[in-house]
Amino acid sequence: MVDAFYIRKYGGPKVLERGQVPALALGPRDVRIRVHAASVNPLDLRIRQGDLKVLLPYRFPLVMGNDCSGVVTEVGQEVGRFRVGDAVYTRLPESRIGTFAEETVADEAAVAPKPTALSHVEAASLPLVILTAQQFLTEAAALKRGQSVLIHAGAGAVGSVAIQLAKHMGLHVVTTVSGRNVSFVQGVGADTVIDRQARRFEDVVRGMDAVLDSVGMANLLRSFNCVKPGATVVSIADGPDVALAKKLHVSALLWPVFWAMSARPNAAARRAGARYRYLFMRADGRQLESLNSLIENGSVRPHVDSVFPFEETPQAIARVEEGKANGKVVIRMCAD
């Protein structure tokens, strides 16, 4: 049995329980990981609340948590990349989440060696956000050196990493933050910072090649005023589209629902001569490993807002739910 935080139904903070759950079976291509630290993501809140139950039809009880860092304790018979004792980090595939626990099991394809420069706490803060940022910059928006990008909520977990990756790629980075975070995002590389409490960003930003929105529908729609024709506007918050429904094998009977949810940003994209995409990042251990060199040389630095012991997992989730964290909230299961 494994000590874990899980839910037996969707709902608010009170549905989260702590208890013993059966240890997961190990498949031939799986690795078992002793979790040293796991991070809390806004995605965890949406899963707990049932916001994604059409996309991700989980079974209960559901152990929460999407990414972690730890040490391999067992490998399947077909595993070739990892051995017992290896320090690793991972964003679990969306169909097999469960990192708020003493241990988890993951397909080796989703796992990467932990950067040696990072502690487990620091490493746990990165997989989901760095993969989201990388897939936005290089795939969804397919940006090239010299182009420009508007990254909303630059002091947030995804935003701060996206700024650093964008600067490494040679992009001009504009970001929006609240006034207290201006110096923070300047410190991670933003070229132009808009204090959203003082100015409307669409009044001063023009000609962007791409936008990353993690705020919500109203902010997303305003962002189309900031782009040039041919630009790409990407949401990781509101507006899931039919392409996502197809990717996650949602029944075709529900595609009209996704068409409706993305109708407003798609209409705004047509008016602006731009393209709209909804990004739901994929777990990819090889891609995660390819970014290790940027972490090792300091081009990308993790930003941890706060660390909670395992028994205070509900408080860690509450910290994210407040919406005031700068960087990631991490749960520590055991010392490095």
Q: Are residues 59 and 136 in the same domain?
A: no
* Same-domain pairing of 327 and 227: no
Domain coverage including residue 155: 128-278
Domain CATH code at residue 248:
3.40.50.720
| Domain-embedded: residue 258 | yes
* 290, amino acid identity: S
- 101: DSSP letter: B
Give the CATH number for residue 41: 3.90.180.10
Q: How many domains does the chain have?
A: 2
Cα–Cα distance measured from residue 228 to residue 208, given in angstroms and rounded to the nearest whole number: 6
Q: Is residue 292 part of a domain?
A: no
Integer CA distances (angstroms), 244 to 56, 209, 249, in order: 11, 22, 8
Nearest to 240 by CA among 223, 224, 256: 256
Residues 170 and 78 in one domain: no
Same domain flag for 48 and 157? no
The answer to whether 183 touches 158, Cβ cutoff 8 Å, is no
| Residue 235 located in a structural domain | yes
Encoded tokens for 264 = 């407003």
User: Are 118 and 155 found together in one domain?
Assistant: no
Residues 104 and 244 in one domain: no
Question: 117 and 186: one domain?
Answer: no
User: Does 260 lie in the same domain as 162?
Assistant: yes
Same domain for 263 and 133: yes
Residues 82 and 43 in one domain: yes
Nearest to 165 by CA among 280, 274, 302: 302
Inside any domain, residue 286: no
Residues 211 and 226 sit within 8 Å (Cβ to Cβ):
yes
Helices (H), 239-284: 242-247, 255-261, 263-272
Give the β-pairing of 62-63 and 304-309: unpaired
- Residue 200 forms part of a structural domain: yes
Question: Quick check: is 14 in a domain?
Answer: yes
Same domain, 257 and 136: yes
Residue 59 lies in a domain: yes
Taking only the tens of pLDDT, the chain with its 336 residues reads 999 999 999 999 999 999 999 999 999 999 999 999 999 999 999 999 999 898 888 999 999 999 999 999 999 999 999 999 999 999 999 999 999 999 999 999 999 999 999 999 999 999 999 999 999 999 999 999 999 999 999 999 899 999 999 999 999 999 999 888 999 999 999 999 999 989 999 999 999 999 999 999 999 999 999 999 999 999 999 999 999 999 988 999 999 999 999 999 999 999 999 999 999 999 999 999 999 999 999 999 999 999 999 999 999 999 999 987 888 999 999 877
DSSP 16-58: EEEEEEPPPP--TTEEEEEEEEEEE-HHHHHHHHTTTTTTS-P
Backbone angles phi, psi at 95, to 5 degrees: -85, -10
Judge whether 169 lies within some domain: yes
Residue 147 sits in the same domain as residue 264: yes
In DSSP terms, 251 is beta-bridged to none
pTM of the model: 0.96
